[in-house]
Structures are given as C-alpha cells and as structure tokens.
Amino acid sequence: MVQFNEIRGFLFDLNGILTDSWIYHSQAWKQIADKLNIKWTPQLEEEIKGRSRLDTLDIILSSMGYKDKYTKAEKIQLAQEKNNVYQTLIDKMSPADRLPGIMQFLEQLTSQGYRMAIASASENAPKEIEKLQLTNYFPNIVDITKIEHNKPAPDVYLKAAEMLGLTANQCVGIDDGEVGIESINQAGAISIGIGDLQVLKAADINFASTKDLTLANIQHNWNDHHA
Ligand code: B16
Ligand code: MG
C-alpha cells in the first residue's frame, strides 16, 4: 500500500468539493422533470449526484420507465435545455461560493509543492473555476468531453493524474459522490470522501466537511486506515 510520503498530487472533483453548485444542478434538472411529468424524489436526487449530463437524463427518464420514449436527438435537446437553465443559475457564482476550508487547503498544498488537477464530470468546470477565481491553482482541468467513460469508470481520474505527469497511485482523489469514489478507487488513487459516511463508505478516508481537509488530518487518518 502506498505511503503518504509517496503522494505527489491531489485530484479534485468540483461540485460538492470546491463549491456547492449541486443545488443549481438539482434545480435545473427538477425543471426538466416537471416539464416531463416525472416525480422528483430525494432518492432520484441522490442517484444522479456526480453523474454526467446524459447519464443523469437517462436515470431521470428511467425512473418513470421513459428511457426509450425519446430519440437521441430529443435527449440531447432536453440536456441542452437543462444546461441553459444551469448556466443562468451559475452566472452569479463568485469567490464567495468557495466551500469552507478550501482556500487554506489549496494554499497548503501549493506551498508544499503538490500538483493539483480537476477531475469533474462537468462540462462547465472551466467556467466555474474561472468564476470562483481559482484558475491560478488549476491550469489542469480534464476536458470531460474527450473522456469516453464517465464516473464511476476510472477514466477521468486517470486522465487527471496523467495531466500532472503522475501515476494514479501517486495521487489522492477527493469527491463527494458515490460514483466519484468508485472512479477514484478503480483508478488506483487513494480516495477521500466528503459527506455522508454511509453513502461514501467505499472511500479510503472520510470527512464530514471540506473544513476537515488539511494535510495533518489526511496523514492522521492515513495512518489509522493503513495501520
Ligand atoms: P454539466 P462534479 C458533476 O460535477 C455534478 O455533480 C453533476 O450533478 C452534473 O450532472 C455533472 O457534473 C455534469 O455537469 O451538466 O455541467 O456538464 O461533481 O463531477 O464536479
Ligand atoms: Mg461532486
């Protein structure tokens, strides 16, 4: 098992880790579900967290047995509609939307020479990083449109490590979605889950909040976990 001092890079999910735009994704999807007369439930909401746009639409449609009711072109149109709503909602995003503890953590990582990249399923990641004014920390953002298999497949985390010139086992991945943790684990990086321990129980290390993200906490839990 890799030691903490062999780690060179940190791979970040975006929504739920650097900022909480999940509420906007959820609002935008609910508008589409309402339009299609699909019932919006907390379970449905949990299931779509962290998934790509078209995978999300398929899950929403399947919840009512509608998966084959729409053509590919109609699905692309619906996904585009959702994205238009979403983009309007995030237009006002600013540095005030960074999650607690994130700036201190990014500073700590930078000062200690760790490499950092974004491994988000969102096509809007570059826009959000810019609005959050985090561009200096993240010149490396995986272009999800060029990734063949979405989370829970390992591709996006493997690509993020590669962009840093590292192998996945030299990296830690941080994600708030069940599919994201699966993606990190399959890539062979060490996974940190932020949020509900029950949902994220497959993570190597769990924290309740982004406030807990410090190198000391990670190292402490590492030793516990791999003791
Ligand atoms: P978009 P993450 C994910 O971002 C969101 O959690 C998920 O809800 C969204 O459907 C997905 O991005 C795609 O986003 O529609 O903007 O391309 O958590 O992987 O940073
Ligand atoms: Mg997320």
Tens of pLDDT along 68-111? 899 999 999 999 999 999 999 999 899 999 999 999 999 999 99
Q: Which two three-digit tokens encode residue 214?
A: 């410090």
**Cα of 121 to ligand 2 centre, how many Å?**
8
Among 102, 98, 13, 10, smallest CA distance to 51 is for 13
Q: Kindly list the domain boundaries of the chain, sorted by start residue.
A: 4-20+95-225, 22-90
Give the span between the Cα atoms of 135 and 209, in whole angstroms.
23
Task: Report the CATH superfamily, name and number, of domain 4-20+95-225.
Answer: HAD superfamily/HAD-like (3.40.50.1000)
pLDDT of residue 225: 59
Do the domains at 4-20+95-225 and 22-90 have one common CATH topology? no
* Residue nearest atom 6 of ligand 1, based on CA coordinates: 50
- Give, for 12, the enclosing helix (H) or strand (E): strand 9-12
Among 64, 52, 56, smallest CA distance to 119 is for 52
pLDDT in tens, 200-226: 999 999 999 999 999 999 999 997 754
Please give the number of the atom of ligand 1 that sits closest to the Cα of 177: 18
22-90: CATH class: mainly alpha
Please give the number of the atom of ligand 1 that sits closest to the Cα of 16: 18
Q: For CA atoms 30, 122, 52, 182, give the dihedral sign.
A: negative
Average pLDDT of the residues in 177-203: 96
What is the number of the ligand closest to the CA of 49?
1
* Protein residues whose CB sits closer than 6 Å to any atom of ligand 1: 13-16, 22, 25, 49-53, 56, 83, 120-124, 177
* Residue nearest atom 16 of ligand 1, based on CA coordinates: 122
Angle (CA) 194-172-26 rounded to 5° is: 35
Give the span between the Cα atoms of 202 and 181, in whole angstroms.
7
First to last CA, the chain: 10
Q: Calculate what percentage of the chain has a pLDDT beyond 70.
A: 98
Among 26, 126, 130, 148, smallest CA distance to 82 is for 26
Q: Which two three-digit tokens encode residue 16?
A: 């739920």
Residue 21, sorted as left (phi over 0), alpha (psi -120 to 50) or beta, turns out to be alpha
**Cα of 75 to ligand 2 centre, how many Å?**
23
Average pLDDT of the residues in 44-53: 88
pLDDT of residue 28: 96
Q: Which two three-digit tokens encode residue 99?
A: 């999650």
Q: Which two three-digit tokens encode residue 81?
A: 């509609």
* Residue nearest atom 1 of ligand 1, based on CA coordinates: 122
The SS3 call for residue 155 is helix
Q: Which two three-digit tokens encode residue 204?
A: 């190597």
List, in sequence order, every residue forming a beta bridge with 98; answer none if it has no partner: 19
Give yes or no for residue 178 having a pLDDT over 60: yes
